[in-house]
């Protein structure tokens, strides 16, 4: 069972802005997990945000952060895509 793991760090070079691709092969399929680092907050802010969540408060901007990708990241993204394509072809499925 071969796995592919790739780590991309944001162009701002902050270690808190990471995108981690991790693949897991199951019996019938492959899953690619993309993990994002979440910053720790002081306890009182976690409680405040938790209370806002419980009472249904939502931001007009959504719950997103952004990650800046440079052209240098394309090699790593292509590696993930090639891995998925090779598994797709190995199973006899056609590419779309």
pLDDT digits (tens, 9 = 90+) for 21-53: 888 777 777 777 888 776 777 999 889 988 988
Cα distance between residue 79 and residue 67, in whole Å: 19
| Pair of tokens at residue 35 | 């993990």
- How far apart (Å, rounded) are the C-alpha atoms in residues 93 and 86? 10
d(CA 12, CA 69): 9
Radius of gyration from C-alpha coordinates of the chain: 18
Q: Which residue has the higher pLDDT, 60 or 9?
A: 9
Q: Mean of the pLDDT values across residues 72-92? A: 82
Say how many C-beta atoms besides its own lie within 10 A of residue 10's C-beta.
19
pLDDT at 25: 76
Mean pLDDT, residues 62-71: 65
Percent of the chain with pLDDT over 90: 9
């Amino acid at each position: 069972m071969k796995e592919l793991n790739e780590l991309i760090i944001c162009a701002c070079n902050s270690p808190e802005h990471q995108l981690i691709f991790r693949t897991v092969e199951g019996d019938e399929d492959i899953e690619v997990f993309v993990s994002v680092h979440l910053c720790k907050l002081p306890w009182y802010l976690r409680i405040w945000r938790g209370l806002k969540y419980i009472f249904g408060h939502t931001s007009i901007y959504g719950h997103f952060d952004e990650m800046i990708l440079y052209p240098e990241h394309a090699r790593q993204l292509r590696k993930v895509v090639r891995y998925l394509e090779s598994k797709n072809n190995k199973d006899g499925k056609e590419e779309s």
